[in-house]
Amino acid sequence: MKIAKVFLVGAGPGDCELLTIKALKCIQKADVILYDRLVNKDILKYAKKECEKVYCGKLPKYHTMKQETINHFLVKYANMGKIVVRLKGGDPFVFGRGGEEAEALAINQIPFEIVPGVTSGIAASSYAGIPVTHRELSGSVAFVTGHRSNTEEDTIKWDALAKGIDTLVIYMGVSNLLFIKEMLIKYGKLPATPVAVIQWGTTMQQKTVTGTLENINELVQKKNITNPSIIIVGEVVSLRKNLSWYEEIGEEIKSQGEVLSI
């Protein structure tokens, strides 16, 4: 008899080739896959034909499936004796609510495993030619959520981030970019600090806009950059002018009709 288990799996940032071997094996043996909006749908092709696929995607300010409902389904399918994969874009424990889902499974005594994925904050910056650490420019990096609903209190410690961290990697913050800029400048970041905004990082649609804290909001609006995007704040952004590589290769791949795949 097959033992039920839930795997909280990171699907990576978008490029299928960044999926880990362990993640692929989980997908191949799953009876049920609950997947998010930002998961590359090509990854689902590696599931069994009889695998049930359940869409749990969320849009900013709109939830297709509430978190409590997702938790319920994870427990429900596991109690039916199924191997369940909860497939998330990036990494389950980096702004992926994987901790909440693991807690729900633990409370219900459901066996589970965490399968880390390549988080977009690292992958998108790398694909944009921006190292988040550098011996001369950055000895510290912080991952920050840039998305807050109107009902949520802003608990981000902007003072500490502005003065104490060399590189800030801000997830899903484009809609709040003006506020983020104002907070960082208010608490000590120089207006001339380099900033990059990377949209659809690691995919064929990747687009990168660079500027400074002073002008990045206007540049992003001009280029019509929206989520999903990663914001990088810090001197390391200045290295992009020499280290940019993927977007040039991406144009070559698109012109040749190639598709990145596993």
- Tens digit of each residue's pLDDT (9 = 90 or more) over 171-208: 999 999 999 999 999 999 999 999 999 999 999 999 99
Residue 212 lies in a domain: yes
- The domain that holds 87 is classified in CATH as 3.40.1010.10
Say yes or no: 101 and 178 in one domain: no
Q: How confident is the model at residue 147 (pLDDT cuts 50, 70, 90)?
A: confident
Query: Does residue 12 surpass a pLDDT of 80?
Result: yes
In a domain, 193, yes or no: yes
Give the tens place of pLDDT for each residue, 45-91. 999 999 999 999 765 555 668 899 999 999 999 999 999 999 999 99
Same domain for 229 and 136, yes or no, is yes
- Identify the domain boundary among 65, 98, 118: 118
Higher pLDDT, 171 or 259: 171
Write out the chain in H/E/C secondary structure: CCCCEEEEEECECCCHHHCCHHHHHHHHHCCEEEECCCCCHHHHHHCCCCCEEEECCEECCEECCCHHHHHHHHHHHHHCCCEEEEEECECCCCCCCHHHHHHHHHHCCCCEEEECCCCHHHHHHHHCCCCCCECCCECCEEEEECCCCCCCCCCCCHHHHHHHCCEEEEECCHHHHHHHHHHHHHCCCCCCCEEEEEECCCCCCCEEEEEECCCHHHHHHHCCCCCCEEEEECHHHHHHHHHCCHHHHHHHHHHHCCCCCC
Q: Which residues contact 33 (CB under 8 A, 6 or more apart)?
A: 27, 44, 47, 51, 52, 53, 54, 84, 85, 87
pLDDT digits (tens, 9 = 90+) for 225-253: 999 999 999 999 999 999 999 987 766 66
Query: Does one domain contain both 80 and 139?
Result: no
Q: Which of 20, 41, 34 is nearest to 82 (CA)?
A: 34
- Clarify whether residues 175 and 106 are in a common domain: no
On whether residue 257 sits in a domain, the answer given is no
Confidence of residue 149 (pLDDT cuts 50, 70, 90): very low
Structural domain includes residue 256: no
Residues 82 and 178 in one domain: no
* Whether the predicted pLDDT of 153 surpasses 70: no
Active site residues: 36, 58, 172
Q: Is residue 1 scored above 90 in pLDDT?
A: no
Q: How far is CA 84 from CA 40, 70, 78, 119, in A?
A: 18, 12, 7, 22
Residue 261 inside a domain? The answer is no
Both 108 and 142 in one domain: the answer is no
Is pLDDT above 80 for 254? no
Q: What is the structure's pLDDT at 248?
A: 77
Cα 78 to Cα 34: distance, rounded to the nearest angstrom: 12
Q: What is the CATH number of the domain that holds 199?
A: 3.30.950.10
| Residues 131, 66 share a domain | no
Asked if residue 231 and residue 188 are part of one domain, the reply reads yes
Residue whose entry in the numeric block shows the structure tokens 């921006």: 130
Q: Is residue 22 part of a domain?
A: yes
Mean pLDDT over the full length of the chain: 91
Q: What is the pLDDT of residues 31-41, one digit of tens each?
A: 999 999 999 99
Do 107 and 151 fall into the same domain? no
Q: Are residues 13 and 47 in the same domain?
A: yes
* 208 or 149: which leads in pLDDT: 208
* pLDDT class of 2 with cuts at 50, 70, 90: low
| Residue 112 counted as domain residue | yes
Inside any domain, residue 260 = no
The average pLDDT across 106-123 equals 97
Residue 10 structural domain: 5-118
**Boundary-marking domain end, from 118, 137, 168:** 118
Mean pLDDT of 203-216: 96
Domain boundary among 118, 133, 158: 118
Q: Are residues 39 and 11 in the same domain?
A: yes
Instruction: Report the domain count for the chain.
Output: 2
Asked whether residue 85 falls in the same domain as residue 135, the answer is no
Is 90 exceeded by the pLDDT of residue 121?
yes
Q: What gap in Å lies between CA 152 and CA 258, rounded to an integer? A: 44
